[in-house]
Structure 1
Amino acid sequence: MRPTHPLVALRQARQHLLEFGHCPSGMVQERLARSWTRSLAAGLVPGGQPRATDHYSSTALRQVLDHNPELLAHSRPVMQYLFEQVRHSQSVVVLADRRGMLMHTLGDPHFVDKAERVALTSGASWHEEHRGTNAIGTALAECSAVQIHGGEHFLERNSFLTCAASPILSATGALLGILDISGDYRNGHAHTLGLVSTAARMIENRLLADTCQRHIRLHLHTEPEGIGSVAEGIVAVSGDGWIVGANRVGLAQLGLHTGDLGAVRLERVLEVRLDDLLSHHRRRPQQPQALRLPGGALLWAQLQLDASAWPGPAAPTAARPARTQPTAALSTAPDALAQLDTGDARWRAAADKARRVVGKPIAVLIQGESGVGKELFARALHASGPRRDAPFVAINCGAIPENLIEAELFGYVAGAFTGARKEGSPGYLRQAHGGTLFLDEIGDMPLALQMRLLRVLQERSVTPVGAAKAVPVDFALVCATHCQLLQATEQGRFRQDLYYRINGLTVQLPALRERSDFTALVQRLLAQLATEQDLPAGVWVAPDLLARLAAYPWPGNLRQLASVLRTACALLADGQNTLDWEHLSDDVLHALQTPAAPGAAPARGARTVPGAWPNTEPPPAVALPSSGQSLQALSHAAIAQALQAACGNVSQAARQLGISRQTLYRKLALNPVG
């Protein structure tokens, strides 16, 4: 790899950077100038040493290896092949994770000692913040293939190296890691960058085929003989015709970007119906077929289906399932989010938005009333992304006592406080490393802990209670709340800087009374309860009762509906399979038979049924029991009213009732509302 800048120009540009804080325009390439500027901003000095945190512990390395099994498995064979090409050029082939930690290396024995002197070994960090401009760190920062030669390295101690690195991307465009070849700058070759870029594409294609087994895959090329080569485009298509994954070549061939994945149907970018592709595949599975792009250009395509995912001769239909047939939607659902989709347009729009950012470094904030299924949505989002095999750690920020929440979140060392376990505790944040952290009811988090959480999100590290050293953490962040956080920031109850940190993408889940798929939801819940309670197949709801249930405003949303159906199923007699009025508890009967307040107007999107009182928003208050009822019933009704008045905010309801939040949680655990 030959120098791209004369040595004199490099020295002059570096001197100008150190004196004035920026590189003069035109003296070095813009990408190199940006990297040098970032390195200087990180506090590095060209003649100095790397940052002290540039090498992680063996435990941290083991965690990174454990969290990247697919990347390692598919990279090692390609790295071995790559090393054979450069075996005698005093080089080392390196695989780094998406934070720049080296996970696996293959080195020329004559070069290994030199490489180890600058920590070009497993466990070392080559992030720009730690080692300045270098191919691995700069490829991470720029998310593109990079070569850094000799004096172009920011730290002078690395100037004996010549390095070429290329990102490795997932099927959805997420950065997974970096593949690199580093060697003695005197033995560099101009074609090394092309070699490592081709090897990175080989890894990407192997990963795509592995992670998209349950999808239909189209292999594309401008020549039929090009299908199967490293230059082919690969596009993953869901059973109902949506493009859900692709390699870089496939995106370029179809004129798409990673943001289009999950949002564009195949028919929009290729003049062909999925049914026709599947029909051709059944007749001639090995024969490529010619397809036209909307502009008239020709592409050859070969369809692949994994037998484990699509057994037998039957192929999925390309038609989108009708809203009235949720079971059809489940049969061709491409991910966990789609399996929850029972046809409501607002819910589906929220899922589509969330699906586009899964696997990307964007925090998701889920808003919605209590009981709408925010945690269920978050779990499905986790299961639909690249971290699906890693932990999903859910924390209810309003349910942990304030005197314990700091230790529960951040963990603690042995002897940190009275009552601490002698072995300490890692805490929820560290348990979520590599996976997804779900913070439910984040609006109830105390202000003091909001600042600590903000620091964790900024520094991507956590300091346990009683510890002096921070521990790196890596997790996708999903938060949920029933309250309006923006209003809470204006009132000083929630930190504005934390709000903008967690609000990468906000999705609003509709209340049950606003949804158009009530019947489908009841069918799905009954199917789940049939398995849970060992009920006879085909349990259903009597039509008049179903109509009344559909008209009820459900202040407790899906949680309340599931509770009502669970109790009703438990009251079924042997041989019965129809839920009717006799299977409802008395409080539900009373609520369903209470007429609406005079003059109440139906809410927008409400379901109205002849003979039933209209849906209203906000929902009507729960009727108090009569004076002859028990004190326990009166207490239960008071709690229900307080929660309803507070829109589900437990802290606010507790203040209204004059009891502590923990007392209210205990009462709810003993006698749930709705």
Structure 2
Amino acid sequence: MNHSDHVQAVAHHASAAASSPVAASWRRCLTLYGLSPEEARVPDRLGDSEFRAARERSSPLIEEASSELDRLFSMVGKAGCCLLLTDERGVALERRGAAGDDKDFRGVGLWSGTIWSEASVGTNGIGTALADERPVLIERDQHFLSRNTRLSCATAPIRDHRGRVTAAIDISTCRDDASDMALMILHHAVREAAQRIETNLFRRAFPQARILLVPVDKAAPALLAIDRDDLVLGATRAARLRLGLDDERIAVGVPAADLLGEDAGLKGEPLLEAERAALRRELSRSGGNVSQAADSLGISRATLYRKMKRLQVN
């Protein structure tokens, strides 16, 4: 059975689509996008003006991702890999590749301005990662189109400061000798790169805020942006899932201490909470020197010790 027949057979079985993300993608390509695996399709490509407009819309993303793309390419570029940064539609905004490999990658459409959505070229790393909103590794004959079965792609979606998928970063290779272990290493590297870019975008969105790391089991960055009054300004998707946050709750205003279970003994007593925060700030500024902190606050050392005990400040 050739590749095209295999795709058709698997995609038409609902049970296979339910149990396999690749089969589910194949089914979407057949039923939703009306594609055929034997088509000699190349990715759709934006015109020059459209491409410039797409880059302009994503300029903050490009700025925050460029150094990460350079770092990643320095690691994998000599191994015959190509890197793409796309927007949420799968438009390749930035590319990194070695000149010696350009012919191969340009031939399959891994080039700036091309559109790597599932609707454009079927199951592929970029399009499927964006559709499923999760990192994927699409190896050779897992691609929908027969013409793309030379490729192996490791891709991770990138989320903005509201937790919405806004981009993808992809490493692709045409090498026949790429081992499963090597592809898994690329998969891990691209996921870490996406997380760093997400962190950069989050910090950019809240330049004046304090950024707080929320302990979670997942590797995704779980960050809160906090204003001077301890109110949450923003949260990454991992933090939102961990703490039950959404845009509406953030807009209303919620103290970070309430979310994280801090100052439980002082909850409901905002004046005491404010006093405790003031003591901690002065002690921090004095490097833990109680006498210096007491002088700054205009109280005696003994009074400061009593307040520290009452307010549970160590």
Q: TM (normalized to structure 1)?
A: 0.37
Q: Report deviation, 1:133.
A: 0.4
The percent of aligned pairs where both chains have the same amino acid is: 25
The structure having more radius of gyration, on CA atoms, is 1
The residue number in structure 1 matching 2:119 is: 129
**By how many angstroms is 1:110 displaced?**
3.1
| Alignment partner of 2:24 out of 34, 42, 45 | 34
Amino acid in structure 1 at the alignment position of 2:150: F
Q: Structure 1: which 5+ runs fail to align?
A: 1-7, 223-229, 288-674
Higher helix fraction (1 or 2): 2
Partner secondary structure for residue 191 of structure 1? helix
Does residue 243 of structure 2 align to residue 255 of structure 1? yes
Residue identity in the other structure for 1:45 = S
What residue is the counterpart of 1:217 in the other structure?
A: 211
Q: How do residues 286-435 of structure 1 correspond to structure 2 at under 5 angstroms? A: none
Closer/same/farther in 2, CA of residues 114 and 283 from structure 1, 3 Å limit: farther
SS in 1 for 2:155: strand
Deviations 1:155-181 (A, max 9, x none): 111110100111111111122211111
Deviation at 1:37, TM superposition (A): 1.4
C-alpha RMSD of the superposition: 2.9
Query: What is the letter of the counterpart of residue 118 of structure 1?
Result: V
Given that 2:16 and 2:23 are in contact with CA atoms closer than 8 Å, whether structure 1 keeps it comes out as: no
State how far apart, in whole Å, the 1-side matches of 2:244 and 2:171 are: 30
Q: 1:27 to 1:221 in 2, by over 3 A?
A: closer
Query: Relative to 1, partners in 2 of residues 1:109 and 1:23: Cα closer, same or farther, differing over 3 Å?
Result: farther
For residue 134 of structure 1, report the CA deviation from its aligned partner: 0.5
State whether residues 4 and 37 of structure 2, in contact with CA within 8 Å, keep that contact through their aligned partners in structure 1: no
For structure 2, which runs of at least 5 residues remain unmatched after alignment?
264-272, 288-314
Change (3 A) 1:60 1:232: closer
Distance 1:267 1:258 in 2: 17
Partner of 1:177: 167
Question: Which string of whole-angstrom CA distances, capped at 9 and with x for unpartnered residues, describes residues 108-166 of structure 1?
Answer: 33322111001111100001101100010111111111111100100111110100111
CA offset digits 1:411-456 (Å, max 9, x no partner): xxxxxxxxxxxxxxxxxxxxxxxxxxxxxxxxxxxxxxxxxxxxxx
State the 1:204 CA deviation.
0.9
- 1:176 maps to a residue whose letter is T
Number of residue equivalences:
267
Preserved CA contact (<8 Å) 1:16 1:24: no
1:50 aligns with 2:41: yes
Given that 1:242 and 1:262 are in contact with CA atoms closer than 8 Å, whether structure 2 keeps it comes out as: no
Q: Provide the C-alpha distance between the structure 2 equivalents of 1:59 and 1:237, rounded to a whole number of angstroms.
A: 39
Contact 2:222 2:239 in 1 (8 A): yes
**CA distance in 2 between partners of 1:96 and 1:146 (Å):** 15
Mapped to 2, the partners of 1:179 and 1:80 lie a distance apart of 12
Q: Contact 1:100/1:136 (CA < 8 Å) preserved in 2?
A: yes
Structure 2 counterpart of 1:83, which letter?
Answer: F
Q: Quick one: which amino acid aligns to residue 141 of structure 2?
A: G
Instruction: Describe the shift of the 1:106–1:218 C-alpha distance in structure 2 as closer, same or farther (beyond 3 A).
Output: same
- Residues 607-642 of structure 1 show CA distances to partners (whole Å, capped at 9, x for unaligned) of xxxxxxxxxxxxxxxxxxxxxxxxxxxxxxxxxxxx
Matched letter for residue 280 of structure 2: H
Q: What is the SS of the residue equivalent to 2:78?
A: coil
1:50 CA drift (Å) = 2.7
Counterparts in 2 of 1:25 and 1:214: CA distance versus 1, 3 Å: same
1:280 paired residue number? 280
Task: Please tell me the residue identity of whatever aligns with 1:14.
Answer: V
Aligned to 1:69: 59
Partner of 1:140: 130
Q: Which amino acid aligns with 1:284?
A: S
d(CA) in 2 for partners of 1:144, 1:33? 16
Once the 2 structures are TM-superposed, how far is the Cα of residue 183 of structure 1 from its aligned partner?
0.7
Closer, same or farther in 2 for the Cα pair 1:174/1:28, shift >3 Å? Answer: closer
Contact kept in structure 2, 1:233 and 1:249, CA below 8 Å: yes
Call closer, same or farther: CA 1:58–1:242 in 2, change over 3 Å: same
1:232/1:174 Cα in 2 relative to 1: closer, same or farther (>3 Å)?
A: closer
CA contact (8 A) 2:157 2:168 kept: yes
**Retained in 1: the 8 A contact 2:231–2:256?**
yes
Summarize the Cα distance change of 1:49–1:201 in structure 2 as closer, same or farther, 3 Å threshold. Answer: same
Q: Is the 8 A contact 2:125 2:137 kept in 1?
A: yes
* Deviation at residue 75 of structure 1 after TM alignment: 0.3
- Specify the alignment match of 2:200 in structure 1: 206
Q: Give the direction of change, closer, same or farther, for the CA distance of 1:277–1:117 in structure 2 (3 Å limit).
A: farther
Secondary structure, in 3 states, of the residue corresponding to 1:284?
A: helix
> What is the aligned partner in structure 2 of residue 234 from structure 1?
223
Q: Please name the residue that 2:307 is paired with.
A: none
SS of 1:96's equivalent in the other structure is: strand
Letter in 2 for 1:16: A
The separation in 2 between residues aligned to 1:207 and 1:78, in whole angstroms, is 12
Higher relative contact order (CA 8 A, sep 6+): 2
